[in-house]
Amino acid sequence: MKTNLNPWRNFRFVLTLLLAPLASLHAADVTPGSLVKLARNEATQTFDFDTPLMSGSIRTEGSYHGVSRLVDKRSGRSVLDVRYSALNLFRLFSVNLGMGTPRAMERKVHATETAVEITWPATDAHQGELTARYEVRAPDTIDLTVSLRVSGTYAGYELLLPSYFDNTMLPHVYLKRRSLSTKPENVDLVVPMFSEVFRGCSLVFPRDAHAARRPLDGRWNRSEYKMPTAPFLPMRHYAHPLAFMTDPEKKLAVVLMMRPERCSAVSARYFSEHEKERATSYSAFDFLIFGEDLLPGDERRASVRLVLTPLDAEMSQPLKLHEKFLSESATAPPQPR
């Protein structure tokens, strides 16, 4: 019988036994889907988070509240435009009416160990209370829940939710192709590219024919609040209420997704490698949320998810992530009138 007299090997064995409980605790902290703790950063006035796959910050004050920093640890890439943010509540609309922007509205902030809530009370211009709740889930997910309770009467109420990315990121959307037979419609994965036909405009991909009327019903032509916007032009219908931004090598993606019943349209800035052809100095994607007729007392809730993911050659992850999201999420039933 041989005796192991290697002291270094014995030391490593003992050290492994001693560290095993700590490793188990660490693994428990990053269980997929578990909520991540948010740390208040007094220097930057943000709530910071860190997981094995990403780090970032959530801002509650100023115009660009939302996710103000997001870094993919696998690549070291910072995916957002540093001037702006993602999951930012911007414009409030109904038919032929602009109701201002949460960016400029008074707000209240409530934070717990794992969530940050921003609440905008109702005003004369916007007769409804809005709440945005941000949560981070290990190891690669940020969830936003938008809750609305209205005290006014609104036709086709919509909230514009943009996210602003580094200008090297390429937008991808899934669009329906017109069916020329009784066969189901085909779906195309499209990178919206520059065309002189819509130079300077924002491209909107509505859910259906009813939602396609919203950009043309006068809401984008309002002059209240001195907030000029590029024209929103309805295009092909979306096939799935999601989009993803990829790095130039298409190895990494930021996927944004919703449920179709709460997403009236998606919008993406068109891409061009030539700066003079681009409408903006950043890449961006928007959700148009709700799009419903609302009466006093009506309540609505919308779930939005952002996921950082590596990409395979077929870019199969975004649809798989959306299917998982649909199976996990549920929309509150319509309120009785």
pLDDT in tens, 283-335: 999 999 999 999 999 999 999 999 999 999 999 999 999 999 999 987 544 44
The DSSP code for 153 is -
Q: Is the pLDDT of residue 336 over 80?
A: no
Query: Residue 180: what pLDDT?
Result: 66
DSSP of 14-76, one letter per residue? HHHHHHHHHHHHHHHHT-TTPBPP-EEETTTTEEEEE-SSEEEEEE-SSTT-EEEEEEETTTT
Of residues 183 and 88, which shows the higher confidence score? 88
Of residues 23 and 99, which shows the higher confidence score? 99
Per residue in 265-274, pLDDT (tens digit) is 999 999 999 9
Query: Residue 113: what pLDDT?
Result: 98
Q: Which domains, from first to last, does the chain contain? A: 31-328 (2.70.98)
Query: Residue 230: what pLDDT?
Result: 73
Two tokens, residue 113 = 């160990």
Query: Residue 30: what pLDDT?
Result: 65
What percentage of residues in the chain have a pLDDT greater than 90?
77
Check: CB of residue 163 under 8 Å from CB of residue 256. yes
87 phi and psi angles, rounded to 5 deg: 55, 55
Per residue in 136-189, pLDDT (tens digit) is 999 999 999 999 999 999 999 999 999 999 999 999 999 998 776 666 679 999
Closest CA to 306 of 53, 123, 16: 53
Query: Residue 184: what pLDDT?
Result: 66
Q: Using the structure block, give the residue that is written with the tokens 């801002």.
A: 59
Q: Is the pLDDT of residue 8 over 60?
A: no
Q: How many Å from the N-terminal Cα to the C-terminal Cα in the chain?
A: 84
Check: CB of residue 275 under 8 Å from CB of residue 103. no
Residue 128: pLDDT band with limits 50, 70, 90: very high
Dist CA 49 CA 63 (whole Å): 21
Query: Residue 32: what pLDDT?
Result: 84
Query: Residue 20: what pLDDT?
Result: 38
| Mean pLDDT of all residues in 217-245 | 86
DSSP of 223-255, one letter per residue? -GGG---PPEEE-SPEEEEEEEEE-TTSSEEEE
Query: Residue 178: what pLDDT?
Result: 78
Calculate ∠ Cα 76-79-85, nearest 5°.
Answer: 135
Query: Residue 29: what pLDDT?
Result: 52
Query: Residue 224: what pLDDT?
Result: 73
Residue 72: pLDDT band with limits 50, 70, 90: very high
- The gap from C-alpha 168 to its chain's centroid, in whole angstroms, comes to 18
Residue 130: pLDDT band with limits 50, 70, 90: very high
